[in-house]
Amino acid sequence: MNEVDGNTKVRNRFARRKADARKREKFFDYNLILYIGFLLLFGLVMVYSSSSYDAYLTFEDASFYLRKQIYATIAGIVFMVILALIPYHFYEKLGWIAYAASIVFIMLIIPYGYEANGAKRWIRIMGVSMQPAEVAKVGMIIFLACQITRMGKAVMTWKGFAFVLMLVAPISVLLWSVTSNASSAIIVAAIAVVMLFVSTPDYKRYIYAGIAVAVLAVIIVAIIVANASGSDASGVGGYRGARILAWLDPEAYASGKGFQTLQALYAIGSGGMFGKGIGESMQKLGFIPEAQNDMIFSVICEELGFFGALVLILLFIMLIWRLKLIADSAHDLFGALLVVGVMGHIAIQVILNIAVVTNTIPNTGISLPFISYGGSATFFLLGELGLCMSVERGIRVRDL
């Protein structure tokens, strides 16, 4: 009997191990998929709600923008799945390739770019429009994860820290100068700072840098205000200076740079606690220019109220928290940094978009991830999440 019992225990132990192995192989993060799916579906609903009026007037097709967004979303989901199935250490070989690709795509704007909404930021490849800035964001996440991992402890020194920032600077400068896309330049730089922040234990340098940036911003704003001339918001700084003046006093520039901001604030205020209902926004009826883009959060506030906006913000927080758990459980620094870069990108863009819509910061043209209309932004954001899923596939169930 003892021998039989012993054999039974051995067989049971092996059976449990096989079951655990199968469980790990088939592990699927339903929470992450749920958050992504809800954001995508909600984004499609709000794109249609905010764009149907303008689409009908312009194209005689109320679902014009919705249809294009659906195509981009489906393509993005396929892209996400493909990247998730590739072992993430494969991307460790692509650091400098991703860096070079970022530069090449940005430079393609010069000969092949076309202008839309007053800005030359798009190129068309095989009939599909895309923003090179979105390629640069993904490319820099992969490159920085590779570079910081390769440098190891050297990145903790001031010299190593400055070296990484110097590598990021050309991409930000190109985005600023070639595409006139200050918001993307800021986001790329901010992603680098976030990835460096989690890689270095000395937080004093970030405090010093934050103080320096704040002081510089105050000086720039003071100079622009001092040199402003009249209600046309002219002065130093060109149209960016005009945006700062309109941010400080949007009512004084209601017929110019402050118009969009004021209409967004009217939409937010009229939504109240629970909103007017889906599709019932008044400000989207020609008052907010291209409401389906950067200012879509104001339409959400008008139609769903403070409660709806809060639920959306909480959903973003849950997505970011889930990504944090994946980063914490990653088996190596490279995997953790990939996820941190994506997490930082989404968090930064959400914060900046809401800050712009609520006039907390000057208008910089930043879209709301997964919600705003924009095929290339959605496509590449889903690709970034595919990188995170690839990292997650290497994590054992009990690590999460």
Model confidence pLDDT, tens digit, residues 384-398: 999 999 999 887 544
Q: What pLDDT shows up at residue 120? A: 77
C-alpha 380 chain-centroid distance = 9
Q: Which of 87, 134, 131 is nearest to 387 (CA)?
A: 87
Instruction: Report the pLDDT averaged over residues 48-53.
Output: 94
> What's the mean pLDDT when you consider all of the chain?
86
In a domain, 107, yes or no: yes
What band does 17 get if pLDDT is binned at 50, 70 and 90?
low
In a domain, 3, yes or no: no
In a domain, 287, yes or no: yes
Instruction: Report, in angstroms and rounded to the nearest whole number, the Rg of the chain calculated over CA atoms.
Output: 24
Q: Which of 135, 138, 139 is nearest to 122 (CA)?
A: 135
Integer Cα distance of 59 and 56 in angstroms: 5
Instruction: State how many domains the chain has.
Output: 1
In the chain, which ranges are continuous DSSP H helix?
2-25, 30-59, 64-85, 95-107, 109-112, 132-151, 158-178, 182-199, 204-226, 238-248, 259-271, 296-329, 333-357, 375-393
Q: What pLDDT shows up at residue 312? A: 97
Instruction: Report the pLDDT averaged over residues 133-143.
Output: 95
Q: How many alpha carbons fall within 13 Å on the CB side of residue 297? A: 26
Instruction: Report the pLDDT averaged over residues 230-243.
Output: 60
* DSSP secondary structure, 271-282, as one string: HTTT-S-TT--S
Q: What pLDDT shows up at residue 396? A: 57
Q: What pLDDT shows up at residue 398? A: 43
CB atoms within 10 A of CB 333: 15
The more confidently predicted of residues 179 and 78 is: 78
Q: Which domain holds residue 111?
A: 30-399
In a domain, 44, yes or no: yes
Integer Cα distance of 236 and 224 in angstroms: 6
User: ∠ CA(394), CA(395), CA(399), 5° rounding?
Assistant: 175
In a domain, 343, yes or no: yes
Residues in the chain: 400
Integer Cα distance of 121 and 365 in angstroms: 12
Instruction: Report the pLDDT averaged over residues 127-131.
Output: 81
In a domain, 11, yes or no: no
Instruction: Report the pLDDT averaged over residues 285-308.
Output: 92
pLDDT exceeds cutoff 60 at 165: yes
pLDDT tens digits, one per residue of 180-234: 888 899 999 999 999 999 988 777 878 888 888 888 888 877 777 777 655 445 5
In a domain, 14, yes or no: no
In a domain, 305, yes or no: yes
CB atoms within 10 A of CB 271: 25
Q: Which secondary-structure segment (H or E) carries 293?
A: none
Q: What percent of the chain has pLDDT over 70?
A: 88
pLDDT tens digits, one per residue of 325-372: 999 989 899 999 999 999 999 999 999 999 999 999 888 888 999 999
Integer Cα distance of 267 and 303 in angstroms: 9
Task: Classify each residue of 294-328 as buried b or exposed e, where b means 16 or more C-beta atoms within 10 Å of its C-beta.
Answer: bbbbbbbbbbbbeebbeebeebbeebbebbebbbe
Q: What pLDDT shows up at residue 10? A: 45
Residue 81, both tokens: 């799945």
Integer Cα distance of 312 and 26 in angstroms: 30
Amino acid at 164: V
